[in-house]
Homo-oligomer: A and B are copies of this chain.
Amino acid sequence: MTVAATIRIQDADFDVAQEIAALTKGRTDIGAVVSFTGICRGSEKGEPIAALTLEHYPEMAEAEIRRHADEALSRWPLQGLAVIHRFGRIAPGENIVLVVTASPHRRAAFEAAEFLMDYLKTNAPFWKREEGVHGTGWIEASDHDDAAAARWTKS
């Protein structure tokens, strides 16, 4: 069975339940569904923020996410996979990103979701700008995120 990943880059919000249902509805072969939702926090490093604005590279973003989604499909026995990434202005408490994985087995569903999130953080062409109390600034990339993504590199 060939599984096609659902990939959407949009300014609108998403609905986790609806995306899970889209992968599982009417099926009786799925045993495990993992969802990851990334949410805008109201502070960064102790400083309150009013909002994030996500800039992205539209022509590249979908291709880059699809490449990693296809890698996940080849590495784990997945029955469904969805990645949704928002762009534009996002207020604290609002959703930023969603990954949903479906598999017969829980370990595959967990690992594939974590793999995709680690790669989205470091390789998907999105940049976060924060509106803080002292003006706006670009959020810096994290070494932790690079290390997290490196875990998945096959040696």
Contacts and interface: CB of A to CB of B under 8 A. Distances in A.
Interface in A113-143: 113-114, 117
A20 interface: yes
Give the dominant DSSP class at A's interface.
mixed
A117 B106 CA distance: 8
Interface residues of A, number: 34
Q: How many copies does the complex hold?
A: 2
A110 B28 contact: no
A32 interface: yes
Given A38-B106, A110-B113, A113-B110, A43 B29 contact: yes
B110 A110 contact: yes
A113 B113 CA distance: 12
A123 to B, nearest CB: 15
Contacts of A107: 114, 148
From A28, A31, A33, A110, residue with most partner B Cβ within 10 Å: A28
A93 interface: yes
A114 B29 CA distance: 21
A133 to B, nearest CB: 15
A31 B35 contact: no
Given A32-B39, A106-B114, 18 more contacts: A16-B16, A16-B17, A17-B17, A27-B93, A28-B41, A29-B43, A31-B38, A31-B41, A32-B36, A32-B38, A33-B36, A33-B37, A33-B39, A34-B113, A35-B35, A36-B109, A41-B104, A110-B110
